């Protein structure tokens, strides 16, 4: 007996839950050969605003957690991704060796960033020499809510733009161009110890979602790495200037290279305090 195929519709991931788009829209995800793979929710500007609200609500608790605790949670995400290695390799590349290697690299990248969670403040903070009976200390602190446009490929790129944002205490709203791997990664996040709202994943069209996020006054940072339209990127950067968002411009990157610290420090702010020397 021939069975009917059950066509999955991938939803959004907002605030730790998996809602449909408020608009009720979806779009078809096709393979490289043009074959139907799945349906994905097409996020609207209202969905983007809801995601920003969820990220802002989660910011106080996440930024207030100890760096060690954030690192442990990121490490737990890596563990769970490792446990679903075969599923991810199948979804992003039909189970081929190259896809499995992508998943392995993504796990390693999460572990790498987890290790930096309680070290970045020591590297980029300082005790400053001053003339007077004072301590003068500079420490990095998270900026707030960061909107991220993830690269369409590879899966390692998605992990490489999310991990540095959240390990330093920021929360994020991510526009994902590869819906299947992104929302499946949302399933990993939802079953890990990561609080809801720290990472919010939107699938849909960049031209519809990016302008609203760039102009949103409650978004503090904007990573345009995955934007594929130069005009859209320029307009987003201009809109981001309205509330002095920190911006990463679109750039082609070798995701297999050692990531360095720039993506972590870009969305950190330095706070300097004076404290009198005790008697």
* 18 close to 186: Cβ distance less than 8 angstroms: yes
User: What's residue 31's pLDDT?
Assistant: 72
Q: Where are the beta strands (DSSP E) in 57-129?
A: 126-128
Nearest-5° Cα angle at 169, 79 to 274: 140
Question: Which pLDDT score, from 0 to 100, does residue 152 have?
Answer: 85
Cis bond upstream, residue 154 (ω within 30): yes
Residue 1 lies in a domain: no
Average pLDDT, the chain: 93
Alpha-carbon distance of 244 to 199, in angstroms, equals 22
Determine the straight-line distance between the first and last CA of the chain, rounded to whole angstroms.
86
Q: Is the pLDDT of residue 112 over 70?
A: yes
Does a structural domain hold residue 177?
yes
Cα torsion angle, 18, 22, 25, 29, sign: negative
**What's the confidence (pLDDT) of residue 38?**
84
In a domain, 32, yes or no: no
Average pLDDT over residues 122-126: 92
Residue 275, H or E segment: strand 268-276
For residue 279, pLDDT over 70 is answered with no
- pLDDT at residue 93 greater than cutoff 80: no
Reported as a single tens digit per residue, the pLDDT across 29-79 is 877 677 788 889 999 999 999 999 999 999 999 999 999 999 999 999 999
Mean pLDDT check: name the lowest of 6-10, 147-151, 219-223: 6-10
* 26 domain residue, yes or no: no
In a domain, 28, yes or no: no
Task: List the one residue out of 73, 107, 85 whose CA is nearest residue 189.
Answer: 73
Report pLDDT digits (tens) over 247-277.
999 988 999 999 999 999 999 999 999 988 8
Q: Is residue 238 part of a domain?
A: yes
- pLDDT (tens digit per residue) in 182-233: 888 999 999 999 999 999 999 999 999 999 999 999 999 999 999 999 999 9
Please report the pLDDT score of residue 37 as a whole number.
80
Q: How confident is the model at residue 32, as a pLDDT?
A: 67
Q: Is residue 35 part of a domain?
A: no
Domain that holds residue 106: 13-18+41-276
State the pLDDT confidence band at 101, using cuts at 50, 70 and 90: very high
Q: What is the pLDDT of residues 235-250, one digit of tens each?
A: 999 999 999 999 999 9
Among 149, 130, 148, residue whose Cα is nearest residue 138: 130
Number of structural domains in the chain = 1
Provide the pLDDT confidence category of residue 278 given band limits of 50, 70 and 90.
Answer: confident
DSSP codes, 188-253: HHHTSSPPTTSEEEEES-HHHHHHHHHH-TT--EEE-TT---HHHHHHHHHHHGGGT-EEE-----
Q: Is the pTM of this model over 0.75?
A: yes
Q: Could you give the percent of the chain with pLDDT greater than 70?
A: 98
Q: Is residue 142 part of a domain?
A: yes
Tell me what pLDDT residue 180 has.
80
Which CATH number does the domain housing residue 267 bear? 3.40.605.10
Q: What is the mean pLDDT of residues 22-26?
A: 92
Kindly tell me if the per-residue pLDDT of 96 is higher than 90.
Answer: no
CB 150 within 8 A of CB 209: no
CA distance 80 to 107: 9
User: Alpha-carbon distance 206 to 190, whole Å?
Assistant: 24
């Amino acid at each position: 007996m021939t069975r009917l195929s059950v066509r999955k519709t991938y939803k959004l991931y907002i605030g730790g839950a998996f809602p449909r788009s408020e608009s009720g829209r979806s779009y078809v995800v096709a393979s490289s050969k043009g074959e139907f793979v799945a349906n994905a929710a097409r996020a609207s500007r209202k969905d983007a605003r809801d995601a920003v609200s969820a990220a802002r609500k989660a910011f106080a608790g996440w930024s207030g957690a100890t760096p060690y605790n954030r690192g442990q949670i990121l490490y737990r995400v890596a563990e769970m991704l490792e446990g679903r290695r075969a599923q991810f390799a199948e979804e992003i590349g039909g189970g081929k060796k190259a896809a499995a290697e992508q998943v392995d690299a993504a796990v390693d990248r999460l572990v790498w960033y987890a290790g930096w969670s309680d070290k970045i403040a020591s590297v980029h903070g300082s005790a400053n020499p001053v003339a007077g009976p004072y301590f003068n200390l500079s420490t990095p602190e998270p900026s707030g809510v960061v909107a991220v446009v993830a690269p369409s490929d590879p899966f390692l790129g998605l992990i490489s733009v999310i991990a540095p944002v959240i390990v330093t205490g920021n929360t994020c709203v991510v526009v994902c161009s590869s819906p299947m791997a992104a929302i499946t990664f949302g399933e990993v996040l939802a079953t890990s110890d990561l609080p809801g709202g720290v990472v919010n994943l939107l699938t849909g069209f960049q031209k519809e979602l990016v302008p609203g996020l760039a102009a949103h006054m409650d978004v503090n940072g904007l990573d345009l790495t995955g934007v594929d339209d130069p005009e859209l990127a320029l307009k987003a950067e201009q809109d981001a200037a309205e509330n002095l968002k920190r911006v990463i411009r679109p750039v082609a990157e070798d995701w297999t290279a050692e990531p360095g610290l720039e993506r972590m420090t870009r969305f950190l702010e330095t706070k300097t305090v004076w404290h009198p020397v005790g008697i």
